[in-house]
Amino acid sequence: MADISIDRVSKVFTTARKRTVALNETSLAIATDEIVCVVGPSGCGKTTLLNLVAGFLEPTAGTISVGSREVAGPGADRAVVFQADAVFPWLSVAENVAYGMRMQGLGRAERAARAERYLELVGLADFRSAYPKELSGGMRKRVDLARAYASGPEVLLLDEPFGALDLFTKEAMWLALQGVVRAEPKTIVFVTHDIEEALFLGDRVVVMTPRPARVHSVVDVPFGTGRDLELRAGPEFQALRNEIAHTLREVHDDAA
Ligand SMILES: Nc1ncnc2c1ncn2[C@@H]1O[C@H](COP(=O)(O)OP(=O)(O)OP(=O)(O)O)[C@@H](O)[C@H]1O
């Protein structure tokens, strides 16, 4: 269990031809076991922010802490799920889920027990011996999620994990993620382009400005736990969706 503190973080990419300020003194505090969804204009720096928290990139200025530790590189306390599948095609579903635990040196029996627990939580227990090519896109995403959880992180960083899925598969993944989080809460940063996804899953939705990204506004999501898909049809959900869409349109127009 850990909170995340992003304190006046800037990130400048410098190549031979170009200098890009992706983030400019961005600050954000995320509480332990909170789900924060991040939306913003395309190319504003959302993935950069996530990669900085993951430790894949180093800030040009500012600091990021997870719990009491300052981020100084990737670590087992953080697991990342990307849009692209990260499953190994030559490993079975259960072996994929156990992979990170093997790297961490856990014994065979514990790996098997933990893999089983997370396969059950994501609804894949019957597919433990299947290989990725036998799975649908949504099922492969469930494997990614189970593997991320099984590696025992304190923080989950999700970068448009369901971005390539069709609407119905996506909805099923929202419910799957919600179920796993309910069984085992985590501090989650979830980057998405999908406002409904952000509102359905998040405790808060952070709207970023165009590049260089800063936090434009933060929307508190009042729907509690155990959300069902019908929620989206309700007036409160619709009003928040419209509010965020309006903000995004505004920041987009200001930058254009
Ligand atoms: N390694 C890199 N080298 C140079 N520039 C980079 C690098 N990574 C990202 N950028 C630039 O930083 C800016 C922010 O990119 P980033 O991928 O973080 O945006 P994003 O908000 O996640 O975009 P999208 O919504 O389209 O996924 C972009 O202009 C991008 O071209």
**What would the pLDDT profile of 21-78 be if each residue is shown by its tens digit?**
999 999 999 999 999 999 998 888 999 999 999 999 999 999 999 999 999 999 999 9
pLDDT computed for residue 1 by the predictor: 77
End-to-end CA distance of the chain: 41
pLDDT in tens, 241-256: 999 999 999 887 776 6
- Whether residue 48 has its Cβ less than 6 Å from ligand 1: yes
Can you tell me the ipTM of this complex? 0.95
Alpha carbons 244 and 238: distance in angstroms, whole number:
10
Angle at 188 between CA 67 and CA 13, to 5 degrees: 80
Beta bridge partners of 35: 188
Q: What are the angstrom distances between the C-alpha of 181 and each of 41, 64, 82, 122?
A: 27, 24, 18, 10
pLDDT computed for residue 228 by the predictor:
94
What is the arithmetic mean of pLDDT over 80-96?
91
Closest residue (by CA) to atom 23 of ligand 1? 43
Question: What are 122-149's pLDDT values in tens digits?
Answer: 999 999 999 999 999 999 999 999 999 9
pLDDT of residue 108: 86
- Say what the pLDDT of residue 163 is: 92
The number of the ligand 1 atom at minimal distance from the alpha carbon of 208 is 21
Evaluate: CB of 18 within 6 angstroms of ligand 1.
no
- Write the DSSP symbol of residue 194: -
pLDDT at 193 over 80: yes
- Percentage above 90 pLDDT, the chain: 81
Tokens 């999908």, residue located: 194
CATH number of 1-68+187-240: 3.40.50.300
Rounded to whole angstroms, how far apart are CA atoms 34 and 42?
Answer: 24
Ligand 1 lined by 68 (C-beta under 6 Å): no
Average predicted confidence (pLDDT) for the chain:
93
Q: Which of 83, 84, 64, 86 is nearest to 75 (CA)?
A: 64
Q: What spacing in Å lies between the alpha carbon of 48 and ligand 1's midpoint?
A: 6
Q: What is the band of 106 on the pLDDT scale with cuts at 50, 70, 90?
A: confident
The whole-number average pLDDT for the span 184-209 is: 96
Query: Which pairing describes strands 78-81 and 155-159: parallel, antiparallel, or unpaired?
Result: parallel
The three-point CA angle 26-73-17 to 5° equals: 65
- Supply the residue whose CA is at minimum distance from atom 25 of ligand 1: 42
Cα 191 to middle of ligand 1, angstroms: 13
Which regions of 68-119 does DSSP assign to beta strands (E)?
A: 69-70, 78-81
